[in-house]
Chains A and B, each alone.
Chain A
Amino acid sequence: QVQLVESGGGVVQPGRSLRLSCAASGLSFSSYGMHWVRQAPGKGLEWVAVIWYDGSNTYYADSVKGRFTISRDNSKDTLYLQMNSLRAEDTAMYYCARGGSGGYFFDFWGQGTLVTVSS
C-alpha cells in the first residue's frame, strides 16, 4: 500500500536550518508531484511547497519563499524540504503529501514530523 514516512523534525533555534525527508513506498513516486503541507499546533492546514514529478518545477507559499527549498531524489523515492532561516512561526507538524490526479488535491499523506523553532 502507499506509504509516506517523514523524518528529520526536531527542536531548532531561530535562524538555524533543518532538512526534512519523506520516504515513499507502494507508489510510482517518480510519476507524481509531491507537496509539503504544514499545521501549526492547534491551527489549520497550510500548503508549503510543491515539486513536479520530474523535479522540473517548484513552487512555494509566500510565507516560506526564499527560505525553504523542496527537492526530490527519484532514484531513492524520497522527497526533501530544506528549511533555512527558521522562525518561531515555522513551528508546525510537516506533512508530505502526494498530488492527486491532475495535481489539484492531495490523495495520500504521511503521518508528519514535528518541527519546533525555539530558543
Chain B
Amino acid sequence: EIVLTQSPGTLSLSPGERATLSCRASQSVSSTYLAWYQQKPGQAPRLLISGASSRATGIPDRFSGSGSGTDFTLTISRLEPEDFGVYYCQQYGTSVTWTFGQGTKVEIK
C-alpha cells in the first residue's frame, strides 16, 4: 500500500504570500492518479486539482499542482483570506483503493 506523507504539518503565512505544500509517496504514483483537496472547518472537502496539475472547474489560477513519481507539490501563488484551511493530497492505488495524505494546515500568521 502506498503511503502519502504531506509536509509541513502546518504552514503559517500571511495573505499575499506564496504557499508551497508537499506530498511525498512511498512508491511511484502515476500523475494521472494524484489529486488535491481543500477543506475548511465544518465543510466537506473540495476538489482543487486532479491528474497532478489540472485545476477543477471554478478553481482560481493561483492554485497550481506539479510533480511526478514520488514528489508532488501544490502551490498557492498569493494567499487570499479564503484559502486558509487544510489541504489533502490523494492517490488512486492498485487493488482499487484510494488513500489520502494526513493533511497540511494553512493558517493565518
Chain A residues with CB under 8 Å of chain B are: 35, 37, 44-47, 50, 59, 61, 95, 100-112
Known contacts: A105-B35, A107-B56. The answer to whether A50 contacts B50 by CB under 8 A is no
Indicate whether B15 reaches chain A with its CB closer than 8 angstroms: no
Pairwise interchain contact A47-B99, C-beta atoms closer than 8 A: yes
Cβ contact within 8 Å between A46 and B100: yes
What DSSP secondary structure best describes chain B's contact surface? strand
Is B88's beta carbon under 8 Å from chain A? yes
Closest chain A residue to B35, Cβ basis: A105
Residue B90, interface by CB 8 Å: yes
Using CB atoms, name the residue of chain A closest to B103. A44
Residues of A within 8 A of B98 (CB): 35, 47, 50, 106
The verdict on B68 contacting chain A, using a C-beta distance below 8 Å, is no
